[in-house]
Amino acid sequence: MTDAKTRIEEIVKANDVVLYMKGTKDMPQCGFSQRVAGVLNYMGVDYADVNVLADDEIRQGIKDYSDWPTIPQLYVKGEFVGGCDIITEMTLSGELDALFENSDVTYDKDAAEKIREANA
């Protein structure tokens, strides 16, 4: 059996966008995971979701892998982007749009703008 770090690396490298979260993108099980999954879902981003509640090794392993103490954690093109607060700030500032564009990740620009308008 491969260790958690190897499993995490394989998932992060195999998918353009990965969200390590509590629950799934269709059924988040904490408010922070729900917020980030909601943003990605609303913006139409194709992403892999990994439910850390289903695997204690991954739950701790992802924290060690990123050296970040909280979940959710978003990865784009193999790079750790941040948790809920960072993703929220990046969404509202337009930085997340720029990251997706620079990474060739497809998303709905109109939806991203609606999020900003609703939070202005």
Does residue 30 have a known ligand-binding role?
A: yes
Of 78, 67, 62, nearest to 4 by C-alpha is 62
Peptide bond into 69 cis (omega under 30): no
Output the known binding site for [2Fe-2S] cluster.
30
List binding-site positions: 30
